[in-house]
Structure 1
Amino acid sequence: MLRESSGSKQGTDRIFARSGLTAFVAGLARKTVRHNVTINNSF
């Protein structure tokens, strides 16, 4: 029981880490796109 619960916790931690990384990359891409749009509008 204890081994199974710790394994599932590790699995959820991996899922949270992966989704957190995806959200970080998405936010970074969003900032980059917004920055490119402002540069293009200034020309």
Structure 2
Amino acid sequence: VHYLAGPVTRDCFRALRNINAEITAKALRDVLNRRDNTRVGAV
């Protein structure tokens, strides 16, 4: 069981890292877009 758990856990961690990276990138893009929109609105 331990032998099987190793690779599976590693893949899960890798998937979680990828998901977190995508969420972070999307959040950053949303924030930048919002900032651009407010700047355009202010002008």
Report the TM-score range of the alignment, normalised by the length of the smaller protein.
over 0.9
Gaps of 5+ in 2: none
- Show the counterpart of 1:21: 21
C-alpha separation in 1, matches of 2:11 and 2:22: 17
- Show the counterpart of 1:35: 35
C-alpha separation in 2, matches of 1:37 and 1:25: 18
TM-score of the aligned structures, taking structure 2 as reference length: 0.92
User: Which secondary structure state, in structure 1, belongs to the residue aligned with residue 33 of structure 2?
Assistant: helix
- Percentage of identical aligned residues: 9
The CA deviation at 1:33 is 0.3
- Show the counterpart of 1:5: 5
Root mean square deviation of aligned Cα:
0.7
Superposition misfits of 4+ residues, deviation over 2 angstroms: none
